[in-house]
Amino acid sequence: MNLTDINQINEILHRHGFRFSKSLGQNFLTAAWVPERIAEESALDEQTGVLEIGPGIGCLTRELSLRAGKVLSVELDSALRPVLAETLADCPNTEVVFGDVLKQDLPKLLAEKLPGLRPVVCANLPYNVTTPVLTQLIEQQCFESITVMIQREVARRICAGPGTADYGAFGVFVQWYCETELLFDVSPGCFVPQPKVTSSVIRLKKRQTPPCEVKDEALMMKLVRAAFNQRRKTLINAASSGLGIGKDVLAQILQELGIDERVRGEVLDISTFAKISDKILEING
Ligand code: SAM
């Protein structure tokens, strides 16, 4: 069975009366090298339990099942139930749960369905829910690694460093919890139907400890969001209106840290945000 062969895809989907849904981000892979390479990059073995989000017709699921101890796939579209029953019939180490991944209690699901296995995520994510899904996966901190295909633009933002146009609050959030790596690009021609944009595969490895120390993580993230909400403004102006702190207080903090008062948040690295946040906490007590 070759689930990336367009003739086989059309035949199976047609037989089950399946129609692609744009709102569910349904772009299925039609290039065999892509699911193979995504699975390879996930460094799987018999001890690994993979959570896959959105199996679609099951092409990546099959590649994962060849390498992992077990694959648990969460699929929102129940129209794919008979399709996946057929395409995964010969993969005994796979299980599909039908529902919205955003509504799942993931730690509970892992404990029930992937007990004793090293939990990782591997998926070709639906574009429309990329940010909430990644936020949920990272915040719950229950996965050792997350290897996903997403829109290239979002992938670049996640992996961007200070002083670049792509650097932003979501990237800082992800990099706080994970080491990020941009792996490879996939062109629109590798999917049916073809998306408008290029995709990229990224790998996020859970950090054992944060990249630096900070006294109040939530305050630091608030500062980061304030800085990037008004990224063309100086940090003093953006943080003052975003956090309701006096400009004179912020100016004093920057001076104490030896940072130019005209600095914009977009050039600051995580450890500098952490230092500023600690000073704000000290002053606001
Ligand atoms: N894995 C397949 C592939 O690579 O060809 C399909 C990937 S397709 C980009 C995204 C899949 O995610 C679709 O099957 C879609 O129905 C499913 N999906 C969309 N939103 C979802 C959600 N909130 N929870 C779980 N699955 C979802």
| pLDDT at residue 217 greater than cutoff 90 | yes
Q: Residue 194: which residues within 8 A CB-CB, separation 6 or more?
A: 27, 188
Q: Using an 8 Å Cβ cutoff, are 245 and 284 in contact?
A: yes
Return the residue whose CA atom lies nearest to atom 14 of ligand 1: 56
Q: Which residues sit opposite 70 in a β-bridge?
A: 49
Report the pLDDT value the prediction gives residue 1, as an integer from 0 to 100.
84
Measure 21 CA to ligand 1 centroid, in angstroms: 10
Question: pLDDT grade, residue 216 (50/70/90)?
Answer: very high
Please state, for a pLDDT cut of 90, what percent of the chain lies above it: 97
| pLDDT at residue 120 greater than cutoff 80 | yes
| pLDDT at residue 37 greater than cutoff 80 | yes
Number of helices (H), then strands (E), belonging to the chain: the values are: 12, 9
Question: pTM, whole model, 2 decimals?
Answer: 0.95
3-state secondary structure of 206: strand
pLDDT tens, residue by residue, 235-281: 999 999 999 999 999 999 999 999 999 999 999 999 999 999 999 99
Please state, for a pLDDT cut of 70, what percent of the chain lies above it: 100
Nearest to 21 by CA among 123, 128, 130, 152: 128
Task: Tell me the average pLDDT across 12-32.
Answer: 97
Return the residue whose CA atom lies nearest to atom 3 of ligand 1: 28
Report the pLDDT value the prediction gives residue 267, as an integer from 0 to 100.
96
Rounded to the nearest 10 degrees, the angle between the axes of helix 217-229 and helix 169-177 is: 150
Report which ligand 1 atom has the smallest distance to the Cα of 77.
16
Report which ligand 1 atom has the smallest distance to the Cα of 100.
24
Return the residue whose CA atom lies nearest to atom 22 of ligand 1: 100
Report the pLDDT value the prediction gives residue 285, as an integer from 0 to 100.
64
Q: Which stretches of the chain are DSSP H helices?
A: 6-15, 33-41, 59-67, 81-87, 106-113, 130-140, 152-159, 169-177, 217-229, 235-243, 247-256, 270-284
Q: How far is CA 70 from CA 65, 89, 96, 114, 269, in A?
A: 6, 14, 11, 7, 39
Neighbours of 166 (CB within 10 A): 14
Which residues' Cβ are closer than 6 Å to ligand 1? Answer: 24-29, 53-56, 59-60, 74-77, 100-102, 124, 126, 129
pLDDT tens, residue by residue, 174-197: 999 999 999 999 999 999 999 999
Residue type, 89: A
Report which ligand 1 atom has the smallest distance to the Cα of 34.
4
At which residue do the structure tokens 């997403």 appear?
Answer: 150
Measure 213 CA to ligand 1 centroid, in angstroms: 37
Measure 127 CA to ligand 1 centroid, in angstroms: 9
pLDDT tens, residue by residue, 128-143: 999 999 999 999 999 9
Q: Residue 144: which residues within 8 A CB-CB, separation 6 or more?
A: 118, 119, 120, 205, 206
pLDDT tens, residue by residue, 50-83: 999 999 999 999 999 999 999 999 999 999 999 9
Report which ligand 1 atom has the smallest distance to the Cα of 102.
23
Query: Which of 1, 59, 77, 109, when mutated, tests ligand 1's pocket best, judged by the most ligand atoms within 8 Å of its CB?
Result: 77
